[in-house]
Structure 1
């Protein structure tokens, strides 16, 4: 027994060093993850506090806002700000316009994105490489604002709803994501469907699209958020106020601080009360404008990781 211990004198030494190394490694890992969690908590607080502050101001009384008592939670809870904003007719017209642009635009975006991405993902498509190059080229170079404006006006789209939808029918980056997702589908599936007599349209709508639903869910959110927040196109192409989206109304309230808008909302309020209420109206308008898109997000949030990785992994 003693001889065997003498024959392997380094064995106990190795075990002791291994345990020590494991202990040190786990301590460093705990320190590293602790710093990561701390940074994450700080980032959450920094990004979440402005939203909570806006929400608290929108539910607080005018007196509490005037005395600057609102820090984190509402003070003097009231819905007067929401009543003031929601009774304004222009808000509902703008809300309907934004809803129309978002729903119609997103549906057309997803449809034409799939129609553009599917042929580009098929190796047997003879123009695949050339079209991929020209599509990727538009990600870095564009014709500029003035030529696009002249094109929109020459096509008769100025002051029409389609000026908010047709110029952004597809977004190049989203086409690339969708193409990668289609490329991740095993080619044997399409070969089997082709043997059974399925054409390209059938393979697209019956096979390819159902397989990449998580990716399409992510692209749907991307397009919907874009249409919901889009105000620059309306600023350029929509001169009629009854066609302008909610973001244009919000822009007038926030940036321009339109006196006629505030006076219509405030009614017969005094000048001092109206000045304080202006801040509350702005924050209420922010909450009203982002609430619909925020309520939709949790329902498709679970598709995010799967949708992005599906378009990135080649199987």
Structure 2
């Protein structure tokens, strides 16, 4: 059916708005890339916009040859990978029984989970609990308080509910227990939703700086996200990187160092996302159809 002129106008305006929104996200990234790869004189002149001038990788060499940035990047990887695995395991462990109709208390526990989305103890009580458990300056302080996201758990639960009940009946007839049904039937069918939730958790752990700022006081345990945030706010950290013994002979501007740090931080997520994109929309849509 051929669209009417009104529909064509709507599509045109809609596409124009989406294009402007995309450009508003793309231009800052291009500017950061240009600052990171431009040389000292070009950045100091203030004429760097969307394309590098006087190509230089000194800023990245300065970051990666220093002691803090590689260690902070490794901490980011450890926090993200371990936290991602733990969160997926425990979120699945919470979602699966709540999706089984034979679980008599599933309505009560579902409402209990939803209650935590509306009310929480707050920052100070949470800090006191973490401190009382002697978790300060450990990564468990980053993993345990947010181990299960209720929103993500409800998406997985809804996906499990969308699976045909006949699958569970046939598995029971064949003698499968609940664990075997979960591992051999449910999980292989749940790749789209798990890829989506893994992306949610992964981005959350990778970009987490506030919890690290509160609970981790040892500099060698802090992640790159917090270090970049400190680089943006603190001039002394940038001067320390510039004056490090293994720094290059050519000094770098604070803008170049900040831009290089931001690129080092966001590049892993930009690399991972295209591999999960094909599952992303499918996982969210399937996990939100049935209540």
Give TM class, smaller chain.
over 0.9
**Which structure is richer in relative contact order (CA contacts within 8 A, separation 6 or more)?**
2
Rounded Cα–Cα distance in structure 2 between residues aligned with 1:157 and 1:102: 18
Matches within 5 A, 1:256-267: 256-257=234-235, 259-267=236-244
Question: What is the match of residue 147 of structure 1?
Answer: 125
Asked if 1:159 corresponds to 2:134, the answer is no
Q: Give distance in 2, aligned partners of 1:89 and 1:261.
A: 13
SS in 1 for 2:15: helix
Runs of 4+ more than 6 Å apart: none
Which of residues 99, 102, 113 in structure 1 aligns to 2:80? 102
Point out the structure with max Rg over C-alpha. Answer: 1
Aligned to 2:233: 255
Aligned to 1:82: 60
Quick one: distance in 2 between partners of 1:264 and 1:58?
Answer: 15
Deviation string, structure 1 residues 16-53 (Cα, Å, up to 9, x no partner): xxxxxx98x62222222111111111111111100100
Aligned counterparts of 1:131 and 1:260: Cα–Cα separation in 2: 47
Q: 2:199 aligns with which of 216, 221, 228?
A: 221
| Residue in structure 2 matched with residue 286 of structure 1 by the alignment | 262
Q: How far did 1:313 drift?
A: 2.6
Cα deviation, 1:129-148, whole Å, max 9, x if unaligned, reads 10011100000100111111
What does 1:104-183 align with in structure 2 at a 5 Å threshold?
Answer: 104-183=82-161
2:275 matches 1:299: yes
SS, match of residue 142 in structure 1: coil
Q: Is the 8 A contact 2:75 2:223 kept in 1?
A: yes
Aligned length: 287
1:262: how far off?
Answer: 2.1
Displacement of 1:260 in angstroms is 4.5
The answer to whether the 8 A contact 1:60-1:77 is kept is yes
User: Does structure 1 retain, via aligned residues, the 8 Å contact 2:42–2:48?
Assistant: yes
Which sections of structure 1, spanning at least 5 residues, go unmatched? 1-21
**Residues 193-208 of structure 1 mapped to structure 2, 5 A cutoff:** 193-208=171-186
Distance 1:196 1:210 in 2: 18
Unpaired runs of 5+ residues, structure 2, are none
Partner Cα separation in structure 2 for residue 146 and residue 188 of structure 1 = 48
